[in-house]
Structure 1
Amino acid sequence: MSESWRTRLERVVFNLYPAYLGTGGRVTHIEADWSEVRVRLPLSWRTRNVVGTIFGGSLYSAVDPFYMMMLMRRLDDSYVVWDKAASIRFHKPAEETLYATFELPDAEVSAVEDELADRDSVDREYEVELVDDEGVVHAVVEKTVHVSTDETKRA
């Protein structure tokens, strides 16, 4: 599968959205069904910290919204989806462009739906790595996403 005209447009709009534009990150690909999103985060004057590496805030904010957004797109409107918690672990200073690939396979979406058949809400944990061109991990972000069938049960 590849990008559709709709996800291509969503990618362009997302990259121009001021809150995301300020992160220094760029969405480079959104699968037509939102099962995969790819992000690029270059080292630039906007993302560089005082020691010349990518600022930790840029690392986190460039990858922050995607698992929540992917679940929102992949589940129907009867579900309420919210970010609940996050953490970042730094492994190596980033002195070059980093990349993140978010994957939300059909089996995970089905698992969320199945779990919510018996419960009002569920928390799911996801992890994304920020890697360089050689695949070396520089940081790992863990996200907890809350999904509910009842709008009053937000995270």
Structure 2
Amino acid sequence: MCTLSFSVSEAGLFKKILEKWKLFKFNKMIRKNWPVYHRLGSRFEFVSEDLLKLRVRFPFNNKTKGYNGLHFGGAIYAFVDPLYVYSISENLGPEFLVLDTKAEIDFLKASNQDLIVETEISPEDIGSIKEECNNKKKTTRIYSIEILDPGRQKIAIVKKTIYIRKLNPSFPITSRL
């Protein structure tokens, strides 16, 4: 009989490999279902188990470069567009409809470097969304996303208004990721 044993350093290495593999599979699924992510080259660098915390890197390349040789603003917006809708949808489940209703972007600085975004929603916020939707059938939330360069300087700020509605059971959404 063969038994496997790992030293502390090997166990840590194994955990890192497993985390990288999960991230690879997650990125593959995202690219398949969100073609803009595949075309622009965005990469999820961190995804929490509950999908409430995300960190995404947006590369500077020929597909994201604008006329002046800097990041194209539309590509920057496409990069952050689905993040909150995805996190909230996955945490609420198929009995809720989650949509963007309004977005506003303020460009603070031009950049020709990779960009980073970190989003986070608290479990308490998810709970309050469920409670409010159970009482009023719908709610809206406003989230702010800071787009940073590798030096952690703000490049842009996006404000998104998210509409959340409890669906009628006779109208389920069947085409989730």
Percent identity for Structure 1 against Structure 2: 26
Paired residues of 1:99 and 1:131 also in contact (CA < 8 A)? yes
Paired residues of 1:98 and 1:133 also in contact (CA < 8 A)? yes
* 1:111 counterpart = 2:122: no
Deviations 1:18-37 (A, max 9, x none): 23222342222221110111
* 1:149 counterpart = 2:166: yes
Once residues 41 and 118 of structure 2 are traced to their aligned partners in structure 1, the CA distance between those partners, rounded to angstroms, is: 16
Query: Under a length normalisation based on structure 2, what TM-score does the superposition of the two structures give?
Result: 0.77
Aligned residue in 2 for 1:41: 58
* 1:9 counterpart = 2:47: no
Which 5+ residue runs of structure 2 have no aligned equivalent? 1-15, 172-177
Which 5+ residue runs of structure 1 have no aligned equivalent? none
Pairing 1:3-152 to 2, within 5 Å after superposition: 8-16=24-32, 17-151=34-168
Once residues 39 and 4 of structure 1 are traced to their aligned partners in structure 2, the CA distance between those partners, rounded to angstroms, is: 14
Once residues 96 and 23 of structure 2 are traced to their aligned partners in structure 1, the CA distance between those partners, rounded to angstroms, is: 21
* Residue 96 of structure 1, CA deviation: 0.9
Paired residues of 2:23 and 2:44 also in contact (CA < 8 A)? no
Paired residues of 2:36 and 2:78 also in contact (CA < 8 A)? no
* Residue 55 of structure 1, CA deviation: 0.5
Question: Residue 6 and residue 74 in structure 1: after superposition, are their counterparts in 2 closer, same or farther (change >3 A)?
Answer: farther
* Residue 89 of structure 1, CA deviation: 0.8
Q: Which runs of 4+ in 1 moved over 3 A?
A: 2-8
Aligned residues: 151
Letter in 1 for 2:29: V
Structure number with larger C-alpha Rg:
2
Query: Under a length normalisation based on structure 1, what TM-score does the superposition of the two structures give?
Result: 0.87
Q: How large is the RMSD of aligned CA atoms in angstroms?
A: 2.1
Once residues 118 and 96 of structure 1 are traced to their aligned partners in structure 2, the CA distance between those partners, rounded to angstroms, is: 45
